[in-house]
């Protein structure tokens, strides 16, 4: 007569946890972050442009802390300290600097004959973390009035319970990030739509494949500037 060994609920839970927690934990210290979210390369002499930035506190949550602005050369590009409206005055190159709660970000701006906006897409590549395998390319692109995140046909991910896709400003945490839904497939091309008006191409800098039940990243990738 065959005997069946039934596992206790505690053992079953332990096996589930082990299936979603690796051994090489990514160290990721929480700090304030400020991201200039305006994509512009050059500004025509005499024209103005509204710069914007997103501030994230030390727990990764976006808040409305006031942002101050400055130009490294006001004779080339002037900028209103409180509103972020910049005006090209003379030919040359400057850095536009944003500051909030002691945290800074900057972008280069050319004052020239034409106004040229930056690329409407950012790209990146996954790598596995916590002993999991995630690989493949992805693209975040402006489409109509929203964004789409597309995984390339070379995408592959380890299996796991409750895998979700996130945009985040951390390579390993999803605090303050935006959840895009369940991972549609462990391989192949797939697309996720972001319609939140508060999220633009430069709001977040990382894409995560994340084991939501146990709070563990399977894979992470940084978006290009």
List domains and CATH numbers for the chain: 33-117 (2.60.40.1080), 120-222 (2.60.40.200)
**Partners of residue 191 on adjacent β-strands:** 150
pLDDT digits (tens, 9 = 90+) for 26-77: 445 567 889 998 899 999 999 999 999 999 888 778 888 999 999 999 999 9
Q: How far apart are CA 42 and CA 3, in angstroms?
A: 75
Instruction: Please give the distance of CA 63 from its chain centroid, rounded to a whole number.
Output: 16
The number of residues in the chain equals 225
pLDDT for 11 beyond 50: no
Confidence at 93, pLDDT banded by 50, 70, 90: very high
pLDDT of res. 33: 87
Query: What residues contact residue 179 under an 8 Å CB cut-off, 6+ apart?
Result: 164, 165, 166
């Amino acid at each position: 007569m065959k005997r069946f060994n039934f596992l206790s609920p505690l053992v079953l839970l332990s096996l589930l946890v082990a299936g979603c927690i690796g051994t090489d934990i990514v160290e990721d210290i929480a700090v304030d972050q400020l991201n200039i979210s305006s994509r512009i390369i050059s500004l025509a002499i005499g024209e103005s442009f509204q710069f914007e930035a997103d501030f994230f506190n030390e727990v990764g949550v976006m808040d409305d802390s006031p942002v101050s602005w400055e130009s490294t050369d006001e004779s080339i590009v002037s900028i209103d300290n409180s509103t972020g409206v910049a005006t090209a005055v003379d030919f040359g190159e400057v850095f536009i600097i944003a500051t909030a709660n002691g945290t800074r970000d900057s972008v280069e701006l050319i004052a020239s004959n034409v106004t040229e906006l930056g690329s409407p897409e950012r790209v990146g590549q996954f790598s596995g973390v916590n002993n999991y395998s995630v690989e493949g390319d992805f693209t975040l692109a402006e489409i109509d009035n929203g964004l789409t995140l597309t995984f390339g046909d070379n995408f592959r991910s380890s299996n796991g319970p409750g895998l979700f896709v996130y945009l985040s400003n951390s390579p390993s945490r999803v605090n303050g990030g935006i959840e895009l839904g369940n991972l549609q497939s462990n391989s192949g091309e797939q697309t996720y739509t972001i319609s939140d008006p508060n999220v633009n191409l430069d709001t977040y800098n990382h894409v995560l494949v994340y084991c939501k039940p146990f709070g563990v990243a399977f894979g992470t990738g940084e978006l290009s500037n």
